[in-house]
Amino acid sequence: MQQTPYIPGNPHLRQSKLRQLFEKAPKGAINLGLGQPGEDTPAFIRDTAARIVRDKPMGYTLNAGILTLREKLAAEYAHKGVTPDRVCVTAGVQEGLYALFYVLLDEKAQIVLPNPGFLTYPSLTSLNDNAPAYYSLQPEDNFRFSADRVIEAVTERSTAVLLAHPSNPTGSVASHEELKKLVDFAASRKEGPLWLISDEVYAGMSYTPSASLADFLDDYPYIVVLRGASKSHHMTGWRLGWTILPESISKSYVAAHQYITTCVSTLTQETFSAIRGTPEEAAWLKYQNALYHGKRDMVEAYLSDRRQLFGGEGAFYWVVKLTENDLAGGSDEDWVVRTMMENLVMTTPGSAFGSQTDGYFRISYGPVKEELERGLKVLRDLLV
């Protein structure tokens, strides 16, 4: 039998620019660039996991996830008609998106992505040889979601639109009015279904009123909502997300998920199922929201009189506008590398997220307060 030759250089399979940048960081650099909570998974979750791993079997689960967890997650949307068979537990939101793109997109389809947006989005679409289009979020609107910007970008070829709110990289949120305008547009479109995909991995981490596409699940049959526990529950390494799907694609979605990862870790699923909806979880979510709100305000206090700050309405991000003097004829990436190597503070170049934040840098207030404050003091002195 003739063997398929090994192909060493798939151009879509490259390490992200961000990871390459962070690998250059000198020892002792303060990391205000990585989008990860500084505090570890709370004790009540870890203690629950210790009990479960001792007392329960750890074999495969159903591909879609254990029923008790899917029942709890579906119950949160029961008033919208969601049932457990419309919920799939995924290995984080990123795997959830990959499975969804595999189901919905081919090389002829067009997905419309946010600019700026999480840098993984275009990479995930390119794995299906899909060339995305983009809608622009504007600094004069604090980079908030705008339905009109999406409507301008949608073409006859458009199959799907991706929203992320609270947003990475800006932390901006979406209003109910803007989401309703988008849903109304999609429902009236004559060129065929327009899938509305909502990445809500930072759900529950808003410091100003915000909305969700889940509010419209019973109004429009082509909405998919993805959420997760990585940020809100400080469970980044546990790899837990979930996707709320319409019945029309739930079986094909679970099949795609099955071939990608079989099922999410049994320990992760059982642990989250055990803590979901408990008083301990409610207390934790209240605590972490206050924690990040306080760190958000700390960034504003240190830097708002130095440079223009944008976003800051949710998640744990601000984006900061660099001046021509800061850039000194170079790029925002040059500034970030220089600050990292010379001042030992890591941030993220705005251009990594799209042209709309070229000339900015993103700051994460995910780190613990003490580390965050040390980094902010350096940045305040630098941005004179």
128 falls in which pLDDT band (50, 70, 90)? confident
Average pLDDT score over residue span 255-271: 98
221 C-beta neighbours (distance < 10 Å), count: 12
Average pLDDT score over residue span 146-159: 97
Average pLDDT score over residue span 172-180: 97
Q: What pLDDT, in 10s, does the model give residues 305-315?
A: 999 999 999 99
For the CA atoms of 310, 296, 36, 41, the dihedral, rounded to the nearest 10 degrees, stands at -160
Fold observed for domain 17-41+280-379: Aspartate Aminotransferase, domain 1 (3.90.1150)
Alpha-carbon span 288 to 291, nearest angstrom:
5
Q: What pLDDT, in 10s, does the model give residues 43-55?
A: 999 999 999 999 9
- Would you give the DSSP letter of residue 207? S
Contact 22, 346 (CB under 8 A): yes
H or E segment to which residue 149 belongs = helix 147-153
Architecture category of domain 59-277 in CATH: 3-Layer(aba) Sandwich (3.40)
Q: What is the pLDDT of residue 13?
A: 58
CA 210 to chain centroid: 16
Contact 162, 101 (CB under 8 A): no
Name the amino acid, one letter, at 276. R
Is residue 8 pLDDT above 60, yes or no? no
Strand order in the sheet with 317-321: 309-311, 317-321, 360-364, 348-349
Q: What is the pLDDT of residue 1?
A: 36
Nearest Cα to 152, choosing from 112, 199, 208?
Answer: 112
Residue corresponding to tokens 């879509």: 12
pTM: 0.93
Strands 158-164 and 133-136: unpaired
Mean of all residue pLDDT scores within the chain: 94
Q: What pLDDT, in 10s, does the model give residues 313-357?
A: 999 999 999 999 999 999 999 999 999 999 999 999 999 999 999
106 falls in which pLDDT band (50, 70, 90)? confident
Radius of gyration of the chain (CA): 21
Q: Provide CB contacts within 8 A for 236, sequence distance 6+.
A: 36, 37, 230
Q: What pLDDT, in 10s, does the model give residues 85-103?
A: 999 999 999 999 999 999 9
C-alpha distance from residue 89 to each of 201, 227, 228 (Å): 13, 10, 9
Domain boundaries, the chain: 17-41+280-379, 59-277
Q: For helices 67-75 and 266-275, what crossing angle results, to 10°?
A: 40
129 falls in which pLDDT band (50, 70, 90)? confident
Q: What is the pLDDT of residue 147?
A: 98
Alpha-carbon span 56 to 150, nearest angstrom:
47
